[in-house]
């Protein structure tokens, strides 16, 4: 494999819920519960090679969006490093801020990610002008060329976001991200909030642009059908940790980790040739609270293969058959596929 | 839903007759005060025009200068209508200037402290809360007494008494906007914090601030009138409505009501009109009040 473009090295991101006044007084006299910390992302290391698309998959609340935002330079990691082509994505210091323009993000909700009071053209041109990618005098032409690339007419630039549908807004959001000429595009559930009929159009647009511009992508999704369609490799996350990582084809064909298997089994699918479809097996139980993750393997309370060791010792991510998985029984389970 | 946001806004505003009349009153007052020198019969501050023979004459009196004093004259023989228009000019000017400065300063304090967060936010907002828990008039009185008379001093007192309302409103709105995706999108471009605050956060906080602004302009006019009435406002060389009211106060019980009453009526009409416009703007900008 060539030199990776994006490297996430041991990234941990915690969110502390601030104590309210009562709790603060209680903790002064030593009776309080102490600060509550959510470990949204725990010791995650990933690399993405140039021109590759890595999908990040998991249930809501598993930390995939947080990890995406750490990679995008929106959140600074509490531990670990994020580098793009060897250079750090965020500055260090007391108030870290993003210092590269080479990674850009397409957000999930195009109704929230565009400034409602700014004309579309201004929104798209703002970043490129600020970073001298284009002269202010040329910006109209520049914006029009990007709007054309995402399949929108040039006169869109003079209008406001509320005048567009969800699919059109997401195209605008894609144009804004691409106008910064990034190497890496982070797509945080880019089609999840769109109508199904629009999803395919926007996905195809993303695939086309990825090919034409030679983009590298981090694609965050909970939709396994979409992931299978767009990604080269897939990382499965559960409660802040990566539990399995491998090429999309292999992972979907021969999942190792019990969570991956459960996830794949829980997807409703239409049966081919009129035969009865496979049974849909929902994953038993709920995602545990990240405030109090279960000891050992985080998945053990919901895992049908759990043994005593799983309840006491957290499994490490280890290579298994060309992939990596975090499961004590990975070898045994692989044999059963 | 046709046309630009501003056209839609105006169409809805026009539907409320009272608000339209109030807006007309405010605009006419502004125009009248701007055109004061050519509109009124007498320059009330040119002492050469005044004669004590005309002092304290009732409305309708035809003075030595040959014109009718429609609203009567005051203790110096000054034409009251002229004095009121000039007084409005000062009151309105002070009110709008103080309102604008308080807007700019308060909105900056609110938006920046919300964005920066941490200790700076806590300290700034606690100061604002502390101020909001006192009546504005108290702070203005103390400041006006300490700083002395003069336009600048009065402006400082008015701004200090009023910026807290803007800061509180801007802080609330900015905190709500701060974590919306479009702000994170702008920050992750990356754009500098200053640009994000000025170009994204502040414009999206404007609706509630505009509502506060209309109310606070009316309030600062009233506040200024109060200070001037108490003799803590502008010097007698620049009499605002408050001072006109104070000047006629001693004659009120002797039947010469017009010296105090007419400036008072002008003040009330202006403040009520501004508040009515403000109410309508608030109703239109607050989605929760929409039917």
B203 chain-A contacts, CB cut-off 8 A = 115, 117-118
CA distances from B286 to A37, B8, B210, B289 (A): 37, 15, 11, 6
CATH number at residue B252: 1.10.3720.10
Query: Above 60 in pLDDT, residue A312?
Result: yes
pLDDT at res. A32: 60
pLDDT at res. B1: 43
> pLDDT grade, residue B129 (50/70/90)?
very high
Range of weakest confidence among A263-277, B7-21, B133-147: A263-277
Q: What burial class does residue A291 get, using C-beta atoms within 10 Å of its C-beta: 0-12 exposed, 13-18 middle, 19+ buried? A: exposed
**Beta-sheet strands, E only, within chain A:** 6-17, 36-48, 53-57, 79-84, 87-88, 103-106, 184-188, 216-221, 233-238, 241-247, 318-320, 323-325
Domain that holds residue B273: 5-289
Query: Above 90 in pLDDT, residue A84?
Result: yes
CB neighbour list of residue B58: distance below 8 Å, 6 or more residues apart: B72, B256, B258
Point out the residue among B195, B203, B206 whose CB comes nearest to the CB of A130. B195
**Digit-coded pLDDT (tens) for B220-246:** 999 989 988 888 888 877 788 888 888
Beta bridge partners of A46: A8
pLDDT at res. B174: 94
pTM for the complete prediction?
A: 0.83
Residue A101 φ/ψ, nearest 5 degrees: -105, 0
DSSP string for A153-211:
-GGGGGS-GGGS-HHHHHHHHHHHHHTT--SEEEEESTTTTS-HHHHHHHHHHHHHHHH
Query: Above 70 in pLDDT, residue A276?
Result: no
> pLDDT grade, residue B51 (50/70/90)?
confident
Beta bridge partners of A57: A221, A236
pLDDT at res. B7: 82
Element (H, E) at B240: none
Distance between CA atoms of A152 and A144, rounded to whole angstroms? 9
Can you give the length of chain A in residues?
337
A74 touches chain B (CB under 8 A): yes
Point out the residue among A118, A127, A160 whose CB comes nearest to the CB of B189. A127
DSSP A90: B
pLDDT at res. B256: 84
**Digit-coded pLDDT (tens) for B157-181:** 999 999 999 999 999 999 999 989 9
Distance between CA atoms of B225 and B220, rounded to whole angstroms? 8
* Count of domains forming chain B: 1
Range of weakest confidence among A24-28, A283-287, B193-197, B210-214: A24-28
> pLDDT grade, residue B291 (50/70/90)?
very low
**Digit-coded pLDDT (tens) for A95-121:** 888 999 999 999 999 989 999 989 999
Point out the residue among B191, B203, B204 whose CB comes nearest to the CB of A127. B191
Question: Comparing A134 with B40, which gets the higher pLDDT?
Answer: A134
Mean pLDDT of A205-224: 94
Mean pLDDT of A5-11: 94
Q: What burial class does residue B10 get, using C-beta atoms within 10 Å of its C-beta: 0-12 exposed, 13-18 middle, 19+ buried? A: exposed
Residue in B with minimal Cα distance to A104: B189
B29: nearest Cα among B253, B280, B236, B241? B241
Mean pLDDT of A149-165: 93
Mean pLDDT of A285-291: 80
Q: What burial class does residue A327 get, using C-beta atoms within 10 Å of its C-beta: 0-12 exposed, 13-18 middle, 19+ buried? A: buried
Q: Is A18 left (phi over 0), alpha (psi -120 to 50) or beta?
A: beta
B122 touches chain A (CB under 8 A): no
Query: Above 60 in pLDDT, residue A275?
Result: no
A91 chain-B contacts, CB cut-off 8 A = none
Point out the residue among A97, A101, A113 whose CB comes nearest to the CB of B185. A113
How many other C-beta atoms lie within 10 A of the C-beta of residue A282? 8
Q: What burial class does residue A197 get, using C-beta atoms within 10 Å of its C-beta: 0-12 exposed, 13-18 middle, 19+ buried? A: exposed
B199 chain-A contacts, CB cut-off 8 A = 118, 126
A104 touches chain B (CB under 8 A): yes
Distance between CA atoms of B140 and B157, rounded to whole angstroms? 5
Distance between CA atoms of B74 and B97, rounded to whole angstroms? 28
Question: Comparing A263 with B57, which gets the higher pLDDT?
Answer: A263
Residue in A with minimal Cα distance to B203: A117
Looking only at the bridges linking them, the beta strands covering B61-62 and B68-69 are antiparallel
Q: What is the 3-state secondary structure (H, E, C) of B88-134?
A: HHHHHHHHHHHHHHHHHHHHHHHHHHHHHCHHHHHHHHHHHHHHHCC
**Digit-coded pLDDT (tens) for A10-66:** 999 998 876 677 777 777 776 666 667 888 898 999 999 999 999 999 988 889 999
pLDDT at res. B182: 94
Q: Establish whether the linkage from the previous residue to B15 is cis, with ω within 30° of 0.
A: no
Quick one: angle between helices B5-14 and B17-34, nearest 10?
110
pLDDT more than 70, % of chain B: 97
Distance between CA atoms of A144 and A221, rounded to whole angstroms? 30
Interface test with A, best of B1, B179, B190, B207 (most A CBs within 10 A): B190
Beta bridge partners of B43: none
B186 touches chain A (CB under 8 A): yes
Mean pLDDT of A212-230: 93
Mean pLDDT of B77-87: 87
Mean pLDDT of B186-207: 91
Distance between CA atoms of A175 and A180, rounded to whole angstroms? 9
Distance between CA atoms of A66 and A78, rounded to whole angstroms? 12
Point out the residue among A74, A101, A114 whose CB comes nearest to the CB of B184. A74
Query: Above 90 in pLDDT, residue A274?
Result: no
B182 touches chain A (CB under 8 A): yes
Nearest-Cα distance to chain B for A252, in Å, is 32
Distance between CA atoms of B279 and A283, rounded to whole angstroms? 54
Q: Please, what is the average pLDDT of chain A?
A: 89
A112 chain-B contacts, CB cut-off 8 A = 180-182
Q: Please, what is the average pLDDT of chain B?
A: 87
Distance between CA atoms of A192 and A185, rounded to whole angstroms? 17
Interface test with A, best of B185, B209, B287 (most A CBs within 10 A): B185
Point out the residue among B182, B195, B200 whose CB comes nearest to the CB of A112. B182
> Is residue A303 within 8 Å of residue A310, measured between CB atoms?
yes
Question: Using the beta-carbon criterion (under 8 Å), do A98 and B181 form an inter-chain contact?
Answer: no
**Digit-coded pLDDT (tens) for A159-203:** 999 889 999 999 999 999 999 999 999 999 999 989 988 999 999
Helical segments of chain B, H only: 5-14, 17-34, 36-39, 80-116, 118-132, 136-147, 151-178, 181-187, 193-195, 202-229, 241-249, 258-285
B134 touches chain A (CB under 8 A): no
């Amino acid at each position: 494999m060539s030199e990776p473009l994006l490297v996430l090295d041991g990234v941990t991101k915690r969110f502390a819920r601030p104590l309210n006044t009562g709790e603060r007084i209680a903790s002064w006299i030593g009776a309080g519960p102490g600060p509550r910390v959510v470990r949204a992302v725990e010791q995650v290391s990933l690399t993405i090679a140039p021109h590759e698309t890595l999908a990040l998959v998991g249930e809501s609340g598993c930390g995939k969006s947080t990890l995406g935002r750490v990679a995008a330079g929106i959140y600074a990691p509490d531990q670990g490093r994020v580098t793009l082509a060897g250079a750090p994505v965020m500055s260090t210091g007391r108030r870290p801020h993003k210092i590269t323009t080479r990674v850009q993000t397409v957000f999930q909700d195009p109704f929230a990610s565009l400034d409602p009071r700014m004309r579309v053209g201004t929104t798209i041109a703002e970043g490129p002008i600020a970073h001298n990618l284009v002269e202010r005098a040329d910006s109209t032409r520049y914006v029009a060329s990007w709007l054309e690339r995402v399949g929108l007419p040039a006169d869109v630039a003079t209008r406001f976001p509320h005048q567009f549908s969800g699919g059109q807004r997401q195209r605008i959001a894609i144009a804004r991200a691409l106008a910064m000429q990034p190497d890496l595009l982070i797509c945080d559930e880019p089609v999840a909030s769109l109508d199904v009929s629009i999803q395919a159009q926007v996905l195809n647009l993303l695939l086309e642009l990825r090919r034409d511009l030679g983009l590298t992508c981090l694609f965050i999704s909970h939709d396994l059908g979409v992931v299978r369609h767009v990604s080269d490799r897939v990382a499965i996350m559960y409660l802040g940790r990566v539990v399995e990582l491998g090429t999309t084809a292999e992972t979907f064909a021969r999942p190792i980790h019990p969570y991956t298997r459960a996830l794949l089994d829980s997807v409703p699918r239409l049966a081919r040739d009129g035969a009865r479809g496979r049974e849909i097996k929902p994953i038993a139980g709920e995602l545990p609270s990240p405030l109090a993750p279960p000891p050992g393997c985080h998945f053990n309370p919901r895992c049908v293969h759990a043994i005593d060791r799983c309840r006491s010792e957290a499994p490490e991510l280890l290579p298994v058959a060309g992939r990596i998985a975090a499961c004590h029984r990975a070898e045994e389970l692989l044999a059963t596929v | 839903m046709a046309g630009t946001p501003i056209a839609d806004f105006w169409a809805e505003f026009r539907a409320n007759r009272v608000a339209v009349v109030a807006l007309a009153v405010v605009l006419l007052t502004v125009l009248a005060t701007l055109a004061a020198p050519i509109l009124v019969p007498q320059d009330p501050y040119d002492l050469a025009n005044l004669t004590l023979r005309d002092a304290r004459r009732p409305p309708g009196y035809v003075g030595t200068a040959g014109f009718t004093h429609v609203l009567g004259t005051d203790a110096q023989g000054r034409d009251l209508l002229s004095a009121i228009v000039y007084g409005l000019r000062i009151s309105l000017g002070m009110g709008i200037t103080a309102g604008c400065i308080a807007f700019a300063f308060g909105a900056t304090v609110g938006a920046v402290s919300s964005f920066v967060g941490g200790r700076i936010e806590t300290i700034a907002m606690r100061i604002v809360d502390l101020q909001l828990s006192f009546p504005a008039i108290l702070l203005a009185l103390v400041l006006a007494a300490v700083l002395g008379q003069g336009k600048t001093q009065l402006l400082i007192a008015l701004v200090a008494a009023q910026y807290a309302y803007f800061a509180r409103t801007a802080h609330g709105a900015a905190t709500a906007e701060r974590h919306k995706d479009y702000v994170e999108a702008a920050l992750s471009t990356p754009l500098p914090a200053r640009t994000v605050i000025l170009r994204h956060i502040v414009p999206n906080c404007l609706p509630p601030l505009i509502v506060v602004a209309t109310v606070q302009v009316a309030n600062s006019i009233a506040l200024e009138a109060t200070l001037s009435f108490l003799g803590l406002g502008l010097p007698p060389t620049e009499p605002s409505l408050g001072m006109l009211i104070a000047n006629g106060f001693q004659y009120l019980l002797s039947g010469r009501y017009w010296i105090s009453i007419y400036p008072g009526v002008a003040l009330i009409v202006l403040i009520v009109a501004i508040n009515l416009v403000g109410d309508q703007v608030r109703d239109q900008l607050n989605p929760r009040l929409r039917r």
